[in-house]
Chains A and B, each alone.
Chain A
Amino acid sequence: PASNLGLEDIIRKALMGNLEE
């Protein structure tokens, strides 16, 4: 769950992925 992810994990995942595609 998102609540277990740290800020850096969320940032890294979001930087790698592309929500718009």
Chain B
Amino acid sequence: VITKDQQAFMNVILDAYNRHQIPPDVAKKLLQEQYSAEENFLLLTEMATSQVQVLVEFTKHIPGFLSLDHEDQIALLKGSAVEASFLRSAQVFSSKMPNGHTEVLEERIRKSGISEEFMTPMFNFYKTIGELHMVEEEQALLTAITIMTPDRPYVKDQQAVERLQEPMLDVLRKLCALHHPHEPQYFARLLGRLTELRTLNHYHAEMLTSWRMN
């Protein structure tokens, strides 16, 4: 059973998650079909920057985040920005978009100059996230949990972060049981995606280097 307090806690996170999305004018540019390689690079960079800004705004609303040490706040965001962005992009990809949008978006990313060896695990991740059919509360909580990961580099007070992450894991576990009563492994599958995200994060620096070179 999800208690009233947990429901309120979850609503705060969900509301912040829904309110902080990439601005429509930035997102719209992605669907304009004519672009040179250089314009594509700049646009994807603009998207990435916007995504980080939106992520920070969302994170400020995660209960307790602003009470953490300021440098720890930065360490958490730095350590999770790539993973949280992959998670958000995966959700965009698995959401219902108007006809043809998914293809335009996919083609833009495939033509971005990122090497194929990084592209495959990224699109595989998008696919496995899509197959989970998460409800929006699960998406919001999973993103918040990714950000509030205590063992990121340079986090000094890991226990304080753990104290904020635990109640979110608890609500997510209950939500999974409620929404997916016939899939007892669902919560474990979600956590498994977080491990996959860590691998993507690990390759991200190499991916950026290859992208810049291309």
Contact = CB atoms under 8 A, between A and B. Distances in A.
B90 interface: no
A15 to B, nearest CB: 6
Contacts of B49: 2-3, 5, 10
Contacts of A7: 52, 78, 81
Contacts of B77: 11, 15
Interface in B54-93: 56-57, 60, 70, 73-74, 77-78, 81
Which of A5, A11, A15 has the most chain B CB atoms closer than 10 A to its own CB? A11
Contacts of A14: 52-53, 56-57
Contacts of B52: 7, 10-11, 14
Nearest to B45: A3
A19 to B, nearest CB: 6
A12 B57 contact: no
Contacts, number: 37
A12 B52 CA distance: 11
Nearest to A13: B53
Interface residues of A, number: 12
Contact of A11 (B42, B45, B74): B74
B166 interface: no
A2 B46 contact: yes
A11 B77 CA distance: 7
Given A2-B45, A3-B42, A3-B45, A10 B74 contact: no
B78 A11 contact: yes
Nearest to A8: B78
Given A8-B74, A19-B57, 12 more contacts: A2-B45, A2-B46, A10-B49, A10-B52, A11-B74, A14-B52, A14-B53, A14-B56, A15-B56, A15-B73, A15-B77, A19-B53
Interface of B: 42, 45-46, 49, 52-53, 56-57, 60, 70, 73-74, 77-78, 81
